Structure 1
Amino acid sequence: MGSVTTAVEALSRAQHKNLVFLQGYCRYGKDRWDTRLKIAQGAAHGLAYLHKEPNIIHRDIKTSNILLDDRFEAHLADFGLSRLLCPYDTHVTTDLVGTLGYIPPEYSQTLAATFRGDVYSFGVVLLELLTGKRPVEVCKGWNCRDLVAWVFQKKSEKREEEIFDSSIRDRDWGKQLMEVLGIACKCIDQDPRRRPSIDEVFSWLDEIEIGNT
């Protein structure tokens, strides 16, 4: 905890015109899950707009490309890898790009970027919010697994409660956490045809209540 606090304090003092200013950091009680859920909902809305209005595939959805304002509203960033999908097209052919841990499994075989590929990457982001773990953990030994494989293993063993970050694990939030986990697992389905659209994802997330209201 001390090292985290020190790092946050240092970042808050780092102010420069070419740096993103750290607006805040929350580690208080149940507010931590409120904030994570709000971030997930906001990011899903932003991605749904890209997919629907300008027909853009982002191709690099990850936590570091989701910026927060002073109210913790999520804003998607970094469109350097984005591609416009022409009407009636289902994919764009492209080089294998993205960030390790977020790249959909089918991309390495087909080199075809799709909306459902973005959904997979967003599912990994949801897993990060739920677990507090990185998509690919740097570790040693035979038990080292990527986050997606680790989550599927825990589910197969009926040990879902071990998936959640201990800082947000709470009996009052058990139902909501399981709902978001279910959504995330649909997003990271290995078969892209079985993944939901981002419209479905944000609709499901919006049905999950924040706080006690």
Structure 2
Amino acid sequence: MEKSLHLAFYITICSLAFIASKIVISLLLYRRWRRKHMAYEDGLSGGKMVMFRSPAMQSLTSEAFMKKTLKLSNKDIIGSGGYGTVYRLTINNSMAFAVKRLNKGSSERERGFERELQAMGDIKHRNIVKLHGYYTAPRYNLLIYELMPNGSLDEVLHGRSMNKMTLDWPMRYKIAVGAARGISYLHHDCIPHIIHRDIKSSNILLDQNMNARVSDFGLATLMEPDKTHVSTFVAGTFGYLAPEYFDTGKATAKGDVYSFGVVLLELLTGKKPTDEAFVEEGTKLVTWVKSVVNEKREEYVLDSGLEDCPVDEINNAFSIALMCLEPEPAKRPTMAEVVKMLEQTKSEKL
């Protein structure tokens, strides 16, 4: 009996010690994470600012940041959409940010802000735009992103960029591979997995070296690895949405694959999915390209600015796009497979 009591006491002490050690380790890990990610958290004008620790933020104080922010005007706008307005915020000659302002007023806008924070908080990938911090106030929220000096793929590809440039095939290929890698990272390497739900050319930003960065996570949905879909309201941009999404309301990774396929067609044809010519003819970019490619006449849909391009690379890119655009989601490749196929397209030529 006495041995049983000693054994029970010993087990109890060991269990308590184990639990206590786990609590201590968890607290230490949390403090380490907080020191690593947060430069400061400050109350300003009835709001709260949180800045993530990074070399770009070390010399910036919350007061200096907010002083500049309050001076933003329409001339500083570099983009806008259903989920907010994006401003260029210049601190000095060597420091500038993209500040996304989300005015409060609807529960959906508030959820969009929360989704971006959830999705972007710990992401560090060369093909995902970097979140530097955020500010919450009674009337609006701010998201502070790194500034992409070459704007969006939509602006550059369709001639609305302030930086006049022509996208040749090597550059378009580089952008396609970069965007694919970013989306693949969201789908396969993030836990929980992230479904973007709004992949389109205007949400693919270009840095100073024309590397693609996936942006705008206002519609992003988190999905546990053991799940196949997330039921949600239908949202996104007409022309890029997978057909099954309208019928089921289920957001899946294969829906992002379809949207990427549309972007790849956009890069190949130079045409927007909502081009006026398609509207007039009662068709759309995907249908038009499929009909021409099936007749082996890819040269008729290829952007006129892509003359003298490697025919095999162009044909492979069209084939990959059409795989992504399969009507049945199960027949579409994963984004990891898309990345591999795109990389092979170039390596086979080397």
Name the TM-score class by shorter chain.
Answer: 0.7 to 0.9
- Give the aligned residue type for 2:177: Q
Describe the SS at the equivalent of 1:89: coil
- Give the aligned residue type for 2:185: Y
Q: TM-score, normalised by structure 1?
A: 0.84
Aligned residue number for residue 165 of structure 1: 303
Q: How far does residue 140 in structure 1 lie from its aligned partner after superposition?
A: 7.8
> 4+ residue runs of structure 1 moved beyond 6 angstroms?
none
Judging by fraction of residues, say which structure has more strand: 2
Query: 1: CA distance between counterparts of 2:225 and 2:329?
Result: 20
Describe the SS at the equivalent of 2:242: coil
2:258 corresponds, among 117, 120, 131, to 120
2:165 corresponds, among 26, 41, 50, to 26
Describe the SS at the equivalent of 1:67: strand
Q: Does 1:200 align with 2:321?
A: no
Describe the SS at the equivalent of 1:56: strand
Query: 1: CA distance between counterparts of 2:327 and 2:340?
Result: 22
Q: Does 1:53 align with 2:192?
A: no
Q: Does 1:83 align with 2:193?
A: no
- Give the aligned residue type for 1:48: S
Aligned residue number for residue 35 of structure 1: 171
Query: 1: CA distance between counterparts of 2:212 and 2:305?
Result: 21
Structure 1 unpaired stretches of 5+: 1-10
Between 1:45-54 and 1:201-210, the stretch displaced more is 201-210
Between 1:52-61 and 1:154-163, the stretch displaced more is 154-163
On the 8 A contact 1:137/1:145 being kept in 2, the answer is no
2:313 corresponds, among 167, 170, 176, to 176
State the identity as a percent. Answer: 44
On the 8 A contact 1:120/1:188 being kept in 2, the answer is yes
- Give the aligned residue type for 1:52: H
| Larger Rg, first or second structure (1 or 2) | 2
- Give the aligned residue type for 1:50: L
Query: 1: CA distance between counterparts of 2:279 and 2:286?
Result: 18
Higher RCO (CA 8 Å, separation ≥ 6 residues) = 1
On the 8 A contact 1:101/1:146 being kept in 2, the answer is yes
Cα separation, partners in 2 of 1:166 and 1:68, compared to 1, 3 Å: same
- Give the aligned residue type for 2:217: F
Q: What is the CA deviation profile of residues 162-199 of structure 1, one whole-angstrom value per residue up to 9, with x for unaligned ones?
A: 111011132x4111100100000000011111000000
Query: 2: CA distance between counterparts of 1:21 and 1:46?
Result: 15
Query: 1: CA distance between counterparts of 2:331 and 2:278?
Result: 33
Structure 2 unpaired stretches of 5+: 1-77, 79-86, 90-97, 100-146, 151-162
Aligned residue number for residue 102 of structure 1: 240
Q: What is the CA deviation profile of residues 106-131 of structure 1, one whole-angstrom value per residue up to 9, with x for unaligned ones?
A: 00101001010000000000000000
Aligned residue number for residue 59 of structure 2: none
- The alignment covers a number of residue pairs equal to 195
Aligned residue number for residue 143 of structure 2: none
- Give the aligned residue type for 2:269: T
Query: 2: CA distance between counterparts of 1:60 and 1:147?
Result: 17
Q: What is the CA deviation profile of residues 5-58 of structure 1, one whole-angstrom value per residue up to 9, with x for unaligned ones?
A: xxxxxx9xxx9425756435532xxx7111100000000000000001221100
Q: What is the CA deviation profile of residues 77-109 of structure 1, one whole-angstrom value per residue up to 9, with x for unaligned ones?
A: 000100111131100001010100000000010
- Give the aligned residue type for 1:175: D
